[in-house]
Structure 1
């Protein structure tokens, strides 16, 4: 039966293509799968034709096996016919990256960022989808070059608008792995259809339609038996049947034999030209004519028979095989020596560095210095083009040439490119062999340094630190390598909690970098890291180091975001309470990451931007940022990005009072953190959990969660910045509520002492609030009110409205304890306005309860109430709870107020009723 585009026997496929093109309300994809020759390309071509008939803009690519070696070749095919106005809409970083990747402009010294190329493709697709329905069509998805694959995968996962995707993929290999990267924003948007063999009736009709004659039924039956219903195989067999043949057993017994028979029917000159087409990555009439030594007209005349026979397709100066199996048959059947000879010929003709290097490598039987030099230069060209996978593949070709090509230095370079392409397993394997095969010295130190970076990228900071420690023992006198190694070592140590050791390492790095005249950008990164380490040690901001780091910062140098001085500056601004400036800097960095397609870095930046937004009271902005980060983490995969995203979403949910959702996020975040081994950031979700429990009045649970953090800050009493001690106000409230006044005072002393030393408004404001609570717990209401007033003065210097509201709530409770009802109502009302404006429902409820004087009893108050109701005196209760009698008096005053009672007798009745 004939369907769309003349498809024979493919009704189901025709319906699937029609469905795909009929509903583009959201991105959808159809994957046509099947063995080679089953008819995928025919169905694909029919789908492309139908899309054009229906007014779709079609971006199409038909890569072949030779093109997998040419970086961005398929991306060039997809975008080859774009109008100039589409390019002009791209942000500058994306346009420049795409221009360089597609060789539309000269490559500079700075490597192109492949992430920016991917982001540019996404921007182009989104723009085109706004103009009308768009079809992205790729035939033989498995032949897509690696660089194009990365860009297309990035874009498809983030598609929006009226977009359809039609691709074909083979199933004679691991088809799931070959197409696993193909994902759309919603998993159910991808339909997979496996093409089945044609029944004999449809194969008969196809043969008659394609070769123009009606073969005898016995011959067709034999063809169907041999081909098992494979259309391409069946057609090859049918074409091999001479019109006089009547014996079906005389036909070729296999597809390979049938293809060989067809190719062998041409003379030597044609076969030579066919081999040139099979060897070339992008064959043109001009290139093939020069390869075989003929002019273009002679070549076209010579290939006319192959074109008529359906072996080749020649159009607009380009030449391609009608089917990949024909190319494979020509290449495999030519023999090794003719293949090497043709590759050598093509190497002399092509000018594109990557193609020339590959042809030379495939022509070589051993490593000559000239060949190796050309391969090395091509790998560097690919790196600058933004194709680390292509650079890695080129160096792998050199390594495979044996002695001379397989060197430790080249293994290390290849490993770096593999890491850049996301293949850490291959990078690790190359580096381990390089380390094992080299003697102590510079080369092995470089291998160790690169291996450590691989481990750090996989978030194995302990392993990375161990490798760097070993590498540092082998770089004495090699200060050009020692400085970056020390800086990386400091970063690893910082992330495993060895801050003092990190400080020593970064101090050494500064000395070495300064003494050795390291590149300015590297010195800037090291100075910025030293400013970070000193800050985390509790020494405040080293303005001299940070200012110098920012002067030396070079945005063109590709380094991880954590090493970039601009990011270090933004973090230090936020952590020191300069929130408006921090937010502006982080927003700028986020925009840059978005333009460059730096998704992993964007997750990291968004994490800190979200907390700054929360601190500033911009909870709506924080929620939007958190949700976007969760979506981004799902696209990226991996435990670290998942942990980071869920932590900030849990923080926004905890602050807006969505308890169950916050707990679910925190549980999953902590599990992802445990799987990742990224211990350095585990304090953040624990801090959020502690805050949630305090918000709910679950003080025992809060203390259980926060105990590890309390122990850490006790061991380093100078480190009470918001970055590592945001939990202290919650810990103090929980400690006071549970009667641990001495321990609470220790934390309060730290806050106030460090706040005065560093002139830090946050420490001073929350420190005085905590002091106020502590005084009140001891019954010192006048001192408590004075401390609360002092805290509010400090809040005037701090753009953190929630912290101010929290202090007002404490002040209201103390006013009520002092029987100053009007003052209590004013403070409470002001706090309520703050909490309601912020959308912090749990805290608004606490403020309302305080206004009525009937809040929920804390855990400590419940303990005091039960013991008092049992008949104990205040002194006996104090002894039982290890607190002072004044603390018991303080709690009883709060209990009476909240329960609306006036005597112990009433308390006894209340407790015995089980109403709390």
Structure 2
């Protein structure tokens, strides 16, 4: 029977006639020990190795039930890869190892890094790879629950692989991945997604995932990823099993071989175990004994394996049980101690177990196959098994910090005893798992610690960490855990601090009311006992209460003196309060734009705030936002870029996304639509769906697409969530504003006015009436004008202009003047449009300036001022080209034609022809970054960088990197 026929399933028909042994394939590379009926898999391995060595990354996922030969294929692959000169990094999952965050990653990389020269180690860990150091050393920092703490580790581990592969092709081999820790699988998935341009082969073996499996989703995502070639191993055919049987029993007849095939289900491992049992039982391989074979099966075979232990020397069975409990690669000294025998006795017992085909014959102790380990493990009575796990935990915790996680994994399989060391061990491991990006593992460990019924103070600490773990895992139980912790704490400072953590969890979940209540209760409990903590709680309270319509007014009244009093900024909390005050003044328009700028820079303290709270901190985000609201676009470019540098240095996706979004919005206002989209789309892709800044990013991204003449792209972005179901949260107002502008551009002023007035209602409820925040009145006035609602249009435009003049932001004032000019019409309208052009000419708001020029030119054409109209429209057209605003440029060209001019066509080359991604990559290359450094900075692959640079060179008509800076500045290439 052919290999393909064998894959059709198990045929229960009559015995087959004698069949020639299956054809065995000639050796491929070092694959000269081909397993039966695995031609397709071996060919896939061969092709993948060749491709990886040719810089074409590949991923193979070998899936099949236990005993079908996955590990054997993995061994053949690693052997062949080594003969091809590849670096081979290999790891294996384990039931106990899955509780150890990044345990498999540590198995992969730590042996390599320990074996190479110091120079090579420095090379491999250079750049972004340095972010993985905490995972490799087992040292991870505690992170806030508001962001994904593992991203820098995933990014760093990817660049370790990339740096190794830079000098020699690399094979990453992970066996039994179904029992690997999910953090390592997420890291492997991260690398797999960026493997196309690397000399890298990833080979993973796993069993099919049961429907009730509680492991993470990373392995499933890896198995179904488009770049992955998934190979599913099937049972062997009758002919293949007959070949295996006759290799051991040459005289076996067909009926006997057929019985062996049926009882093993075509599983080669079961077949070999069956043959071992038959050999020890002296059963002749005849048709008469076929019925005796049929009485055996996998369960019987497993019991027979356990029975073999009892026939060995007295120390063999205890050692096998100890290894089954400790897991794969158990050190002999630890296994001996757990088994209660001396090391010399253990060595002798290990030799016997290897001879009996129970343990592997060399290296650290481990079973020949997971099925054998399972048979031994399940053969241990339950109470004895739990005690062995407890004894193993006590042994492992003596290894200090490195043994804590492994000890805790054993404690999950024990019964509660109420011992303090157990709680301490589980708590420490839970915190490490939490910091290492494995909140689900942390939750299991912390819940098990709670089973020990610790004292109330310890229980409260456990609940606080459990609440954080639940929050990171996306479970709704996090706040309830923290509330229970608060109820257990009696000491005021400790209780207030826990209330602060509850407030942070609720704020991150979007429950501003609940967060404000928790911070407020913390202030009440603290009663001024700790001034620093009081400042932190106050800042947290104001952050939440300001965004809650029901609490905002009372909160601002209550802390009026604090928000308007001292401008001292000597502590992080004081700086956060100043940043909030600046944002508040910008939203209300109660100070001038210049005053907001002064206050914000006092809060920033140069780079002091950035050093203290990093770009992830809400205080830093608030400060950059205050500068943006006030129209200080150059300041935003500088502070957001500094924040991006900080985020890249630390590998922080949260800081990178927040700063990219704010800088992108500022670049949009500056008229750099290509750069804006590069920032906005790059940041938006990394933002978790529930992050408060995401709707803001969606709004500005949609506007950038709209102004580039891509309304369909804008509409797709604004279609989520459903248009009639935008939550009443501050940042969703930018989506309403963008949706109104999109409707206006589509010729639906009624829908536009509805959205814009709703935006205004929400802005008033916050309140945030300052037009510098969202100029909704200007757009609404134009929509009302198109609906022939002149009075409403005049009222909206007048109010916008009044507020904009009072605040003094050039961008806001120029926008309001343009709308007022369009509404006024005639000579008064032209005067207002001229003032708009004059105001915006002095500001960096190039996009608004281009709009005002085009509208002024159109107004002059309608007033029959043809010469002045053509001159102004040409300026507007040039400005629109420079901004990359295709829609506005089309409007300017149409007006020029109507004014009797012949406008030029848009260029297909040059800076303005670059896509956002091409512009972004080119800017970094012009600043001296290498392709690898650009890839690390933008969290993309080097192949992606090379692709964008090739396109940029063609559009800019340059040939070298040295010409980029001049080309981006608009100079002609030399």
**For each residue in 1:29-54, what CA deviation from the matched residue of structure 2 results, as whole angstroms up to 9, or x when unmatched?**
33222222232222232233333344
Once residues 457 and 601 of structure 1 are traced to their aligned partners in structure 2, the CA distance between those partners, rounded to angstroms, is 15
Structure 1 position 403, deviation (Å): 5.2
Which SS does the other structure have where 1:59 is aligned?
A: strand
Residues 386, 502 of structure 1: CA spacing in aligned structure 2 closer, same or farther, 3 A cutoff? farther
User: Is 1:849 equivalent to 2:883 in the alignment?
Assistant: no
Which SS does the other structure have where 2:162 is aligned?
A: helix
Structure 1 position 595, deviation (Å): 4.6
Task: Give structure 2 stretches of 5+ with no counterpart.
Answer: 1-21, 26-30, 901-974
Residues 124, 272 of structure 1: CA spacing in aligned structure 2 closer, same or farther, 3 A cutoff? same
Match for residue 331 of structure 2? Answer: 284
Residues 195, 593 of structure 1: CA spacing in aligned structure 2 closer, same or farther, 3 A cutoff? same
Structure 1 position 175, deviation (Å): 8.1
Structure 1 position 77, deviation (Å): 1.4
Within a 5 Å distance, the mapping from 1:534-553 to structure 2 comes to 534-540=585-591, 541=596, 543-544=598-599, 547-548=602-603, 550=605
Which SS does the other structure have where 1:771 is aligned?
A: helix
Match for residue 51 of structure 1? Answer: 81
Which SS does the other structure have where 1:136 is aligned?
A: strand
CA contact (8 A) 2:132 2:155 kept: no
**For each residue in 1:813-841, what CA deviation from the matched residue of structure 2 results, as whole angstroms up to 9, or x when unmatched?**
34334443222221111111111232322
Structure 1 position 257, deviation (Å): 1.6
2:360 is aligned, of 298, 302, 313, to 313
Match for residue 877 of structure 1? Answer: none
Structure 1 position 74, deviation (Å): 0.8
**For each residue in 1:10-63, what CA deviation from the matched residue of structure 2 results, as whole angstroms up to 9, or x when unmatched?**
234334434544555765433222222232222232233333344444332112
Match for residue 884 of structure 1? Answer: none
Match for residue 892 of structure 1? Answer: none
1:170 is aligned, of 199, 207, 214, to 207
Within a 5 Å distance, the mapping from 1:128-143 to structure 2 comes to 128-131=164-167, 133-143=169-179
Within a 5 Å distance, the mapping from 1:591-630 to structure 2 comes to 591-629=645-683
Residues 85, 650 of structure 1: CA spacing in aligned structure 2 closer, same or farther, 3 A cutoff? farther
Match for residue 192 of structure 2? Answer: 156
Structure 1 position 466, deviation (Å): 6.3
CA contact (8 A) 1:59 1:78 kept: yes
Match for residue 224 of structure 1? Answer: 261
Within a 5 Å distance, the mapping from 1:414-493 to structure 2 comes to 414-419=465-470, 421-425=472-476, 427=478, 430-431=481-482, 450-461=501-512, 464=515, 483-493=535-545
Within a 5 Å distance, the mapping from 1:233-632 to structure 2 comes to 233-241=270-278, 242=280, 244-246=282-284, 248=292, 251=296, 253-280=299-326, 283-289=330-336, 291-292=338-339, 299-313=346-360, 315-316=362-363, 318-335=364-381, 336-337=383-384, 338-340=387-389, 342-343=391-392, 346-347=395-396, 349-351=398-400, 352=402, 353-359=404-410, 365-380=416-431, 391-402=442-453, 404=455, 408-419=459-470, 421-425=472-476, 427=478, 430-431=481-482, 450-461=501-512, 464=515, 483-497=535-549, 500-501=552-553, 504=556, 507=559, 520-540=571-591, 541=596, 543-544=598-599, 547-548=602-603, 550=605, 561=616, 563-565=618-620, 567-629=621-683, 631-632=685-686
Match for residue 872 of structure 1? Answer: none
Match for residue 729 of structure 1? Answer: 778
Once residues 454 and 182 of structure 2 are traced to their aligned partners in structure 1, the CA distance between those partners, rounded to angstroms, is 28
Once residues 891 and 296 of structure 2 are traced to their aligned partners in structure 1, the CA distance between those partners, rounded to angstroms, is 89
Structure 1 position 273, deviation (Å): 2.2
Structure 1 position 453, deviation (Å): 3.9
Match for residue 918 of structure 2? Answer: none
Match for residue 686 of structure 1? Answer: 736
Residues 765, 560 of structure 1: CA spacing in aligned structure 2 closer, same or farther, 3 A cutoff? closer
Once residues 249 and 695 of structure 2 are traced to their aligned partners in structure 1, the CA distance between those partners, rounded to angstroms, is 63
Residues 16, 731 of structure 1: CA spacing in aligned structure 2 closer, same or farther, 3 A cutoff? same
Structure 1 position 553, deviation (Å): 5.3
Match for residue 761 of structure 1? Answer: 810
Match for residue 181 of structure 1? Answer: 218
Within a 5 Å distance, the mapping from 1:835-914 to structure 2 comes to 835-853=880-898
Structure 1 position 682, deviation (Å): 1.8
Match for residue 860 of structure 2? Answer: 815
Once residues 223 and 448 of structure 1 are traced to their aligned partners in structure 2, the CA distance between those partners, rounded to angstroms, is 66
Which SS does the other structure have where 1:9 is aligned?
A: coil
Match for residue 104 of structure 2? Answer: 74
Which SS does the other structure have where 1:168 is aligned?
A: strand
User: Is 1:707 equivalent to 2:757 in the alignment?
Assistant: yes
**For each residue in 1:391-416, what CA deviation from the matched residue of structure 2 results, as whole angstroms up to 9, or x when unmatched?**
54432331122454996414423324
Once residues 125 and 802 of structure 2 are traced to their aligned partners in structure 1, the CA distance between those partners, rounded to angstroms, is 48
Residues 425, 306 of structure 1: CA spacing in aligned structure 2 closer, same or farther, 3 A cutoff? farther
User: Is 1:39 equivalent to 2:69 in the alignment?
Assistant: yes
Once residues 615 and 710 of structure 1 are traced to their aligned partners in structure 2, the CA distance between those partners, rounded to angstroms, is 21
Structure 1 position 120, deviation (Å): 0.3
Within a 5 Å distance, the mapping from 1:739-750 to structure 2 comes to 739-750=788-799
1:671 is aligned, of 722, 727, 730, to 722
Structure 1 position 700, deviation (Å): 3.7
Which SS does the other structure have where 1:710 is aligned?
A: helix
CA contact (8 A) 2:467 2:482 kept: no
Range moving further from structure 2, 181-190 or 148-157: 181-190
**For each residue in 1:434-454, what CA deviation from the matched residue of structure 2 results, as whole angstroms up to 9, or x when unmatched?**
578889988777666545544
Residues 381, 704 of structure 1: CA spacing in aligned structure 2 closer, same or farther, 3 A cutoff? closer
Structure 1 position 609, deviation (Å): 2.3
Which SS does the other structure have where 1:424 is aligned?
A: coil
CA contact (8 A) 1:408 1:443 kept: no
CA contact (8 A) 2:702 2:718 kept: yes
Once residues 146 and 672 of structure 1 are traced to their aligned partners in structure 2, the CA distance between those partners, rounded to angstroms, is 37
Once residues 764 and 613 of structure 1 are traced to their aligned partners in structure 2, the CA distance between those partners, rounded to angstroms, is 18
Match for residue 159 of structure 2? Answer: 123
Residues 78, 641 of structure 1: CA spacing in aligned structure 2 closer, same or farther, 3 A cutoff? farther
Structure 1 position 654, deviation (Å): 0.2
CA contact (8 A) 1:412 1:447 kept: no
**For each residue in 1:555-608, what CA deviation from the matched residue of structure 2 results, as whole angstroms up to 9, or x when unmatched?**
67778935142x332222222222122123223323443454433553333332
Once residues 638 and 650 of structure 2 are traced to their aligned partners in structure 1, the CA distance between those partners, rounded to angstroms, is 19
Residues 222, 505 of structure 1: CA spacing in aligned structure 2 closer, same or farther, 3 A cutoff? farther
CA contact (8 A) 1:604 1:644 kept: no
**For each residue in 1:709-763, what CA deviation from the matched residue of structure 2 results, as whole angstroms up to 9, or x when unmatched?**
23345668873253x3233432333333444344334444444433443332112
Which SS does the other structure have where 1:322 is aligned?
A: coil
Match for residue 966 of structure 2? Answer: none
CA contact (8 A) 2:463 2:484 kept: no
Residues 398, 145 of structure 1: CA spacing in aligned structure 2 closer, same or farther, 3 A cutoff? same
Range moving further from structure 2, 783-792 or 432-441: 432-441
Structure 1 position 315, deviation (Å): 4.6
1:8 is aligned, of 27, 36, 47, to 36
Range moving further from structure 2, 551-560 or 119-128: 551-560
Match for residue 881 of structure 1? Answer: none
**For each residue in 1:249-290, what CA deviation from the matched residue of structure 2 results, as whole angstroms up to 9, or x when unmatched?**
675753442332233333331222223323336522344355
Match for residue 150 of structure 2? Answer: 114
Which SS does the other structure have where 2:266 is aligned?
A: coil
CA contact (8 A) 1:116 1:596 kept: yes
Q: How many residues align?
A: 840
Range moving further from structure 2, 184-193 or 150-159: 184-193
